[in-house]
Amino acid sequence: MVDLELEQGLAVITIDRPEARNAIAPETMEQLEKALDEAEGAKALVIRGGGDRAFVSGGDLKELSKLRTVEQAAEMARQMRTVCDRIAAFPAPVVAALNGHALGGGAEVAVAADIRIAADDIKIGFNQVSLAIMPAWGGAERLSALVGRGRALMLAGSGTVLDAFEAERLGLLDRVLPRAAFEEGWRSLARALANDPAGEIKRVLAGVSAEEAISAFAHLWVKDEHWAAAEKVLNRSK
């Protein structure tokens, strides 16, 4: 089951399949597509798993073992890669809140987000090679962008599973929090990012011309929200 929570500009998508450690089945892919449709317009998006054992444990082998032809495998990979591409291209900041382990396809979902925040007892790894396959949902390319081509090949090619602190050191995770502070930590970060300027900053970081960046700033400058905030600063200085 995939749940969507909407609150004051923040959308939270939770993959909640405790019986399968939040593994991705074909039905899960369809539910994620629907949740992303319904999250359109949010100023920040969070992707998380239910419980505290797994963020996403990968693809659901019980369900995906039914796929036996090249065409079937390609269609499944294409469908979930499209989901991950949509997460990466979401107009607002996207946070992956790693409440539990992110393995195989779960690591691919995590790196589709802009920011990864994790509890300190989780593990993350592109360990598809343990099943004699490779990342298929865009994760290899995104891993390379985060840690470099050589490290990406080393990690995904060997199936290395990292603890949270080593993943943070390599740049695969952006913030690691104690388990007791994790829930409040990711919510606080997501709420702080749920604003129009953060969305424009994401767009500029993706690569735009200098003139487009200046235009983005100028349009924010003339908004009522800017002048209301500026007025508070001016009043404090009197």
pLDDT tens for residues 8-67? 999 999 999 999 999 999 999 999 999 999 999 999 999 999 999 999 999 999 999 999
Helix (H) or strand (E) holding 13: strand 10-15
- Which of the four pLDDT bands, split at 50, 70 and 90, describes residue 236? confident
Which pLDDT score is estimated for 106? 98
What is the value of pTM for the model shown?
A: 0.95
Q: In angstroms, rounded to a whole number, what is the distance separating the alpha carbons of residues 3 and 49?
A: 10
For residues 205-237, one letter each, b for 16 or more C-beta atoms within 10 angstroms of the residue's C-beta and e for the rest, the string is eeeeeeeebeebeeeeeeeeeeeeeeeeeeeee
**pLDDT tens string 146-179:** 999 999 999 999 999 999 999 999 999 999 999 9
Q: In angstroms, rounded to a whole number, what is the distance separating the alpha carbons of residues 145 and 126?
A: 14
Contact by Cβ (8 Å): 96, 47: yes
Q: pLDDT at residue 136 above 70?
A: yes
DSSP code for 51? T
Q: In angstroms, rounded to a whole number, what is the distance separating the alpha carbons of residues 26 and 75?
A: 11
Helix (H) or strand (E) holding 37: helix 26-38
Q: pLDDT at residue 186 above 70?
A: yes
Q: How many CB atoms lie within 10 A of CB 88?
A: 15
Alpha helices in 51-208 (DSSP H): 61-64, 70-89, 105-112, 139-147, 149-158, 164-170, 179-193, 196-205
**pLDDT tens string 2-14:** 999 999 999 999 9
CA geometry: angle 181, 50, 180, nearest 5 deg: 15
Contacting residues for 198 by C-beta, under 8 A, at least 6 apart: 43, 44, 92, 93
